[in-house]
Chain A
Amino acid sequence: MHVLIINGSPRVKKFSNTDKIIARFAEGFCENGNTVDVFEVSDRKQWDDIRAAFAVNKDIIIALPLYVECIPGLLLEFLETVDPKNDGTKLSFILQSGFAEGAQLRCGEAYLEKLAGYLGCEYGGTLVKGDNFSIRLTESEDQDRQTVPYRQMGVVFAGKGSFDDEECRKFTGPEEFPLMVRLLIGFVFRTLAKKNFTKASQAWGCDKPLDYRPYGQEN
């Protein structure tokens, strides 16, 4: 099986969380001689090639970050230029996001199912998972902890040809956290996470607090 994978993130490949996820997914998917081609929408120079690949491939995955509850503006701009297919192509999605709960991604997922139809494709389901914001801020084992689980999803997709599968549905994790867990995570947000984000910010050369108001404190 050959699959075209389009990275729909506007972020350059080097820093894209979706890119690291695709790499792991492809490891699993290619285990038994399957092959992938991967393109990045963030690189406008590839758009002609992506359109050409979209036209000829019959198995396509668009992997994307959730952007304000739906697809990123840049991916939308690209898709506005794509010719709808109507040739039995199966279009599946890997939707990933910052917030951790499955419920955060459902509005975006609902759009992707419609989008497959607008593009004249059969819908192959969406692999839904959040809690991926910090992939770009981590390295080696810390990054692996977030990305390696996607390898098994590549294996499952190779077997099924879609994400319409119980294991893929379970991969999302909890829809929402129970109260005790929310209190615990809330505590981590106010302490450890805040400290880590401040540290990351300083490492990026920032000398302002994270809640700085550049256009005036009164606002």
Chain B
Amino acid sequence: MILIVNTTTDTSITAEIRELNKDVEIIEAGAMKISNCIGCNYCWLKTPGVCSIHDDYEQILKKIIVADQLWVISDTALGFIDHKGKNIFDRIMPVVTMNLKFKGKQMRHIMRYDKRTDVGIIYTGDADREYLERWNSRAALNFDSNSLGVFPVSEIKEAVSCMY
């Protein structure tokens, strides 16, 4: 399953994706109530796998754990995805466990589920694309998956060509 989480309020982006590829599941999160992660660690230590914040992110998390691909559509700020986009990543933490191991030369969390979800970003506005590419690759390492790349909305066709 290919999951697209649109954290912007511009639904023309998702409409275009849908036109190019019918086989995607889209969540319009732009107007949803999604808190930042508060770092309580409950998802690792108190209620393993369950976030203590019961807001609209819960339905997104339940989809992520069965998705082959996660695409986050985000506005940008300070050269990076904005806080609404970043919160989608910070709140993914319930998919990893507190248990650690070495993967290659670096420490990683042991994953909670069998599914591996590759991650990609589609962004509006100005961002440091080179840095975003680097960051997204690092972020994917944390979920034992791969980066699908980072695309400005002007290159949406290139992004959609990776959705299979």
Measured CB to CB, the residues of A under 8 A from B are 9-12, 15-16, 42, 65, 67-74, 76-77, 79-80, 99-101, 103-104, 107, 110-111, 114-115, 118-119, 136, 176-177, 182, 185-186, 189-190, 193-194, 197, 200-201, 204-206, 208-215, 219
Chain A positions within 8 Å of B106 at CB level? 99, 101, 103-104, 176
Do A215 and B65 have beta carbons less than 8 Å apart?
yes
* C-alpha spacing A42/B39, complex, angstroms: 10
Residue of A nearest to B108 (CB): A99
Cβ-based interface call for B116 (8 A): no
* C-alpha spacing A114/B113, complex, angstroms: 35
* C-alpha spacing A9/B107, complex, angstroms: 22
Chain B positions within 8 Å of A42 at CB level? 38
Which of B8-16, B23-31, B81-89, B150-158 interfaces with chain A?
B81-89
Residue of B nearest to A208 (CB): B48
Do B83 and A67 have beta carbons less than 8 Å apart?
no
* C-alpha spacing A126/B134, complex, angstroms: 19
Do B79 and A118 have beta carbons less than 8 Å apart?
yes
Question: Which residues between 93 and 140 of chain B lie within 8 Å of chain A, taking CB atoms?
Answer: 97-102, 105-107, 110, 112-115, 128, 131, 134-135, 138-139
Q: Please judge, given known A-B contacts A73-B90, A80-B82, A107-B135, whether A206 and B37 are in contact too, CB under 8 Å.
A: no
Name, among A69, A73, A186, A194, the residue most crowded by chain B CB atoms within 10 Å (CB to CB).
A73
Instruction: Among B65, B77, B89, point to the contact of A80 (Cβ < 8 A).
Output: B77
A19 to chain B, nearest CB (A): 12
B58 to chain A, nearest CB (A): 10
Q: Please judge, given known A-B contacts A69-B138, A201-B45, whether A186 and B99 are in contact too, CB under 8 Å.
A: no
Cβ-based interface call for B71 (8 A): no
Do A104 and B65 have beta carbons less than 8 Å apart?
no
Measured CB to CB, the residues of B under 8 A from A are 36-42, 44-50, 62, 65-66, 77-80, 82-84, 86-87, 89-90, 92, 97-102, 105-107, 110, 112-115, 128, 131, 134-135, 138-139, 142
Name, among A76, A101, A205, the residue most crowded by chain B CB atoms within 10 Å (CB to CB).
A76
* C-alpha spacing A110/B47, complex, angstroms: 34
Do A111 and B131 have beta carbons less than 8 Å apart?
yes
Q: Please judge, given known A-B contacts A213-B49, A219-B113, whether A74 and B97 are in contact too, CB under 8 Å.
A: no
Instruction: Among A65, A69, A194, point to the contact of B139 (Cβ < 8 A).
Output: A69
Q: Please judge, given known A-B contacts A210-B45, A211-B112, whether A73 and B36 are in contact too, CB under 8 Å.
A: yes
Do B48 and A72 have beta carbons less than 8 Å apart?
no
Do A114 and B38 have beta carbons less than 8 Å apart?
no
A175 to chain B, nearest CB (A): 9
Q: Please judge, given known A-B contacts A111-B80, A210-B97, A211-B112, whether A182 and B128 are in contact too, CB under 8 Å.
A: no
Sample of 18 A–B contacts (CB below 8 Å): A9-B39, A10-B37, A11-B40, A15-B39, A67-B90, A68-B90, A100-B107, A107-B134, A115-B79, A176-B105, A201-B45, A205-B46, A210-B48, A211-B110, A212-B49, A213-B113, A215-B49, A215-B62
